[in-house]
Amino acid sequence: MAHDLGYDLLRYAAATGTPLDAERRRALDERLSADMHAQCVLNPRDAPGLCRIVASLFTVGLVVNSWHQSWGPPATEPMGVWAFVLVMVVVLLAVRLPAFAAARRSRPGRRPRRPRAPGTSRSSASSRWARSCWPRPPWRSRRCCPRPRPRCGR
């Protein structure tokens, strides 16, 4: 409520020809952010962590909007242009993502997967141990791989 009144006063000051400095808008935004986070402490509604995350996301949006408006008096934004840009981004992503996935599947230089024997799974304990130990990276301790590496062909 105080934030809305403060924004109304910023608009009124700009309309009467005596705009207030950017510090006033910053102070109003900081007050709203502090009030939102205080509300998470007073009434978290069984999810205090989620409440703090949402309050922080709203604070980021508030700061980005104030920066976009050069910390001046709040102004109305042309929603048609913003909606058009958002729709275009979604359409371009929807068109591009399937092509990206297909290109990733058929990437040259990528080895085809070897078929596994029936009844074996990828997440068996022995295969996890083998993947984690052999070949042992230089930064791993010898405790990880106590046995010497078997030699091929001998």
pLDDT tens per residue, range 90-104: 888 888 777 766 666
Whether residue 127 lies inside any domain: the answer is no
What is this structure's pTM?
0.52
83, part of any domain? no
At residue 23, does pLDDT exceed 90?
A: yes
Q: CA separation (Å) from 76 to 63, 69, 79, 116? A: 16, 10, 9, 61
pLDDT at site 37 = 95
Report the candidate in 20, 3, 1 with the shortest Cα–Cα distance to residue 62: 3
Q: Is residue 55 part of a domain?
A: yes
Q: Which domain holds residue 20?
A: 2-76
Give burial (CB, 10 Å; 0-12/13-18/19+) of 28: buried
Please state the domain count of the chain: 1
Q: What is the mean pLDDT of residues 144-153?
A: 56
pLDDT, residue 96, reads 79
| Section 107-122 average pLDDT | 63
Q: What is the mean pLDDT of the chain?
A: 78
134's CB contacts (< 8 A; 6+ apart) are: 145, 149
Structural domain includes residue 28: yes
pLDDT of 3 over the 90 cut:
no
Domain assignment of residue 148, yes or no? no
More reliable by pLDDT, 84 or 96: 84
* Residue 108 pLDDT greater than 70, yes or no: no
| Two tokens, residue 108 | 């040259």
Q: What is the pLDDT of residue 82?
A: 80
Q: Is residue 95 assigned to a domain?
A: no
Region of 35 (left: φ > 0; alpha: ψ -120 to 50; beta: rest) is alpha
Q: Is the pLDDT of residue 28 over 80?
A: yes
12/6 Cα distance (integer angstroms) = 10
CB-based contact 88:58 (threshold 8 Å): no
Residues, the chain: 154
